[in-house]
């Protein structure tokens, strides 16, 4: 078979492993070397586990030698640091959990490990998944491989940056209001969020329980289909898990699109969409027309309600979920408190960052006596209107297409002091979570030299349809193969890199984390 490309996909690596062209140990050692060389700039990882990774790689090689491996066996991988991992610390990007080591694996972690995935480490993230820029992490901001002065998006920015830079071929993420799809768009990779309930949330530390969903960040839709197939399925430990069979997503990749209908919401192409992004998106839609699909203008009249609805529902749920981190049951504990009240106040005051505190206070307010009906109850009614808009549209179209984010990657610090502008960055992704639908973001072009993402939205449990639409587009275009400048300048990803020569130390213990 031909040599591996600079930034190989899971499918390509799987073929190389099956052909014994390369071993899992070699791939894993190469991934660890790349991280050591490049992550001092990106800051995409919080924790690395080289010894555990190499031991898992050896086990994968033994499985492959016995002819027992599957398409994911031996693939180096990273988990967003919101998934519990047995024996490996799980921080949620927060000082509150900087020293927490989980005694068990999340279901998604457990299922991927059973499929032979090799975990090399845990990726950086916005604190407790609250943010759109990966600047709220206690471990420092993550930087975009396309331009280190810009954000990779959030909250799964560490996973997105690591995949885009070729440090690992794929990683898990979580999506509460766009936290997989938006960073995927800003770094030029594929980001997939399944239907709510398709992938178990057990062991995924909760932000907003009715919105959170586990998913993946990959280079291609094909890779996302392989990973989702391994992660998905009913889990009796998760009361919101859907008891439905999981299709073979890979089996329908490449089906013809002739006669299929794509809904294009007129509200998605309003004045808030950056002109260069709008041009790239319209060109992407013309690709679908050439492939035989029909574009249909549709309307989502409740779209304008999405951001205010989300920022009532999500903070309300986060206020409840994060109440357990009090320094007594879980989390950072202030030393030297004289009273129980002081212990609570100082433990939470020290453990949580500014954005988390903002959302906890907002959530507590909208749930308080006298305000519940005025805010939270009305938000739930608006949420139903948003879901009804989608349901009506899917009676006439197969998928809905539009932008993932209103602009390409913005500069670090540009929006951090303006929460409203930061929140509006998720205006096209939030409605999908409120309705519990699946969504995928694909690279579809560039604006100002930065990647632009095309978002495809499917009906409930329409993952197979989304994967097919995305895969056919990627077979017809090459946007997903474009490499960040650092890679095109000669930093080979398909082969091991030497030790870093920039003086950057390896990933340290929690006590090495910077002060916010």
Collapsing DSSP states into helix, strand and coil, what is residue 182?
Answer: helix
Residue 6 pLDDT > 60: yes
Distance CA 301, CA 390 (A): 10
Residue 108 pLDDT > 80: yes
Q: Are 476 and 291 in contact (CB under 8 A)?
A: yes
- Give the active site residue among 80, 122, 415, 507: 80
Q: Is 370 inside any structural domain?
A: no
Residue 242 pLDDT > 70: yes
- Bridge partners, 76 (sequence order): 118
Q: Is 179 inside any structural domain?
A: yes
Residue 2 pLDDT > 80: no
In eight-state DSSP terms, residue 305 is G
Residue 515 pLDDT > 60: no
Rounded to 5°, the CA angle 454-136-331 comes to 125
Residue 491 pLDDT > 50: no
What pLDDT is attached to residue 492? Answer: 40
Residue 504 pLDDT > 50: no
Q: Is 133 inside any structural domain?
A: yes
The edge-to-edge listing of strands for the beta sheet with 294-298 is 45-48, 118-123, 76-80, 170-174, 214-218, 190-193, 439-447, 450-457, 399-403, 261-265, 294-298
- Give the active site residue among 155, 200, 441, 447: 155
Distance CA 505, CA 136 (A): 22
Domain of residue 280: give its range: 10-304+381-506
Q: Is 375 inside any structural domain?
A: no
Strand 294-298 to 214-218 pairing = unpaired
Instruction: Number of helices (H) and strands (E) in the chain: give both, helices first.
Output: 16, 11
Q: Is 144 inside any structural domain?
A: yes
Write the DSSP string, 100-112.
-B-SS--HHHHHH
Whether 447 is catalytic: no
Distance CA 91, CA 83 (A): 9
pLDDT 10s digits, 253-273: 999 999 999 999 999 988 789
- The phi-psi region of residue 112 (left if phi > 0; otherwise alpha if psi is between -120 and 50; otherwise beta) is alpha
What's the distance, CA 496 to chain centroid? Answer: 26
Residue 506 pLDDT > 50: no
More confident residue, 502 or 476: 476
Confidence of residue 343 (pLDDT cuts 50, 70, 90): very high
Mean pLDDT of 384-405: 98
Mean pLDDT of 468-490: 90
What pLDDT is attached to residue 277? Answer: 97
Q: Is 320 inside any structural domain?
A: no
Whether 155 is catalytic: yes
Whether 80 is catalytic: yes
What pLDDT is attached to residue 216? Answer: 98
What pLDDT is attached to residue 329? Answer: 86
Distance CA 195, CA 382 (A): 20
Mean pLDDT of 272-290: 97
Query: Which of 144, 157, 180 minimizes the C-alpha distance to 38?
Result: 144
CATH code for position 80? 3.90.1300.10
Mean pLDDT of 137-166: 98
What pLDDT is attached to residue 498? Answer: 29
Mean pLDDT of 198-219: 98
pLDDT 10s digits, 351-394: 999 999 999 999 999 999 889 999 999 999 999 999 999 999 99
Collapsing DSSP states into helix, strand and coil, what is residue 320?
Answer: helix
Write the DSSP string, 142-167.
--BTTBTTB---SSSHHHHHHHHTTS
Confidence of residue 131 (pLDDT cuts 50, 70, 90): very high
- Bridge partners, 78 (sequence order): 121, 171
Distance CA 480, CA 489 (A): 18
Distance CA 277, CA 427 (A): 15
Task: Rounding to the nearest 10 degrees, give the CA dihedral for residues 375, 376, 378, 379.
Answer: 110
> Where does 251-403 have alpha helices with state H?
275-290, 306-321, 340-351, 354-366, 378-393
Confidence of residue 489 (pLDDT cuts 50, 70, 90): low
Q: Is 311 inside any structural domain?
A: no
Query: What are the two backbone dihedrals, phi and then psi, of residue 195, each rounded to the nearest 5 degrees?
Result: -55, 145
Residue 214 pLDDT > 70: yes
What pLDDT is attached to residue 486? Answer: 77
Residue 292 pLDDT > 60: yes
What's the distance, CA 237 to chain centroid? Answer: 23
- Give the active site residue among 24, 94, 179, 319: 179
pLDDT 10s digits, 65-106: 999 999 999 999 999 999 999 999 999 999 999 999 999 999
What's the distance, CA 240 to chain centroid? Answer: 20
Question: Mean pLDDT of all residues in the chain?
Answer: 93
Q: Is 287 inside any structural domain?
A: yes
What pLDDT is attached to residue 1? Answer: 59
- SS3 string, 213-229, reads CEEEEECCHHHHHHHHH
> How many domains does one find in the chain?
1
Distance CA 194, CA 149 (A): 31
pLDDT 10s digits, 181-206: 999 999 999 999 999 999 999 999 99
Q: At what angle do helices 221-231 and 10-18 cross, to 10 degrees?
A: 80
Mean pLDDT of 455-477: 98
Distance CA 114, CA 107 (A): 10
Query: What are the two backbone dihedrals, phi and then psi, of residue 191, each rounded to the nearest 5 degrees?
Result: -130, 125
């Amino acid at each position: 078979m031909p040599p591996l490309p600079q930034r190989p996909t899971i499918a390509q690596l799987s073929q190389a492993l099956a052909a014994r062209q390369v071993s899992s140990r070699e791939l894993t050692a190469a991934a660890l070397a790349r991280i050591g060389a490049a992550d001092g700039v990106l800051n995409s990882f919080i924790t690395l586990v080289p010894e555990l990774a190499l031991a898992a790689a050896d086990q994968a090689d033994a499985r492959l030698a016995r002819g027992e491996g599957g398409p994911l066996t031996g693939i180096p991988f990273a988990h967003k640091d919101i998934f519990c991992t047995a024996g490996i610390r799980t921080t949620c990007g927060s000082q509150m959990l900087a020293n927490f080591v989980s005694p068990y694996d999340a279901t998604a972690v457990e299922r991927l490990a059973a499929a032979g995935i090799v975990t090399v480490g845990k990726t950086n993230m916005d604190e407790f998944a609250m943010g759109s820029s990966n600047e709220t992490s206690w471990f420092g901001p993550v930087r975009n491989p396309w331009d280190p002065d810009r954000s990779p998006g959030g909250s799964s920015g560490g996973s997105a940056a690591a995949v885009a830079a070729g440090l690992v071929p794929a990683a898990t993420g979580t999506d509460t209001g766009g936290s997989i799809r938006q960073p995927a768009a800003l770094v030029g990779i594929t980001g997939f969020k399944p239907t709510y309930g398709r992938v178990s949330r057990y062991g995924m530390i909760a932000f907003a329980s009715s919105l959170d969903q586990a998913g993946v960040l990959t280079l291609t839709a094909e890779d996302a289909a392989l990973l989702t197939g391994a992660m998905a399925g009913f889990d009796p430990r998760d009361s919101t898990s859907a008891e439905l069979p999981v299709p073979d997503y890979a089996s329908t990749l490449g089906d013809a699109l002739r006669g299929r209908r794509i809904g294009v919401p007129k509200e998605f192409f309003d004045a808030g969409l950056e002109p260069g992004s709008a041009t790239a998106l319209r060109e992407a839609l013309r690709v679908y027309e050439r492939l035989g699909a029909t574009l249909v203008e549709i309307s989502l009249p409740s779209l304008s309600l999405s951001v205010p609805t989300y920022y009532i529902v999500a903070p309300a749920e986060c206020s409840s979920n994060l109440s357990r981190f009090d320094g007594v049951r879980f989390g950072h504990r202030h030393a030297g408190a004289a009273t129980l009240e002081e212990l609570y106040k100082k433990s939470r005051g020290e453990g949580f960052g500014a954005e988390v505190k903002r959302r906890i206070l907002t959530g507590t307010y909208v749930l308080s006596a006298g305000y519940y009906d005025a805010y939270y109850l009305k938000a739930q009614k608006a949420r139903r209107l948003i879901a009804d808009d989608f349901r009506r549209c899917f009676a006439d179209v197969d998928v809905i297409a539009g932008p993932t984010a209103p602009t390409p990657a913005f500069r670090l610090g540009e929006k951090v002091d303006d929460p409203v502008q930061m929140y509006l960055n998720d205006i096209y992704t939030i409605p999908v979570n409120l309705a519990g639908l699946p969504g995928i973001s694909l690279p579809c072009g560039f604006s100002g030299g930065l990647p632009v993402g095309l978002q495809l939205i499917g009906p409930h449990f329409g993952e197979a349809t989304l994967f097919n639409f995305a895969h056919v587009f990627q077979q017809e275009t090459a946007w997903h193969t474009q490499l960040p400048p650092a890679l095109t300048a000669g930093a080979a990803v398909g082969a091991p890199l030497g030790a870093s020569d920039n003086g950057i130390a390896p990933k340290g213990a929690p006590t090495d984390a910077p002060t916010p």
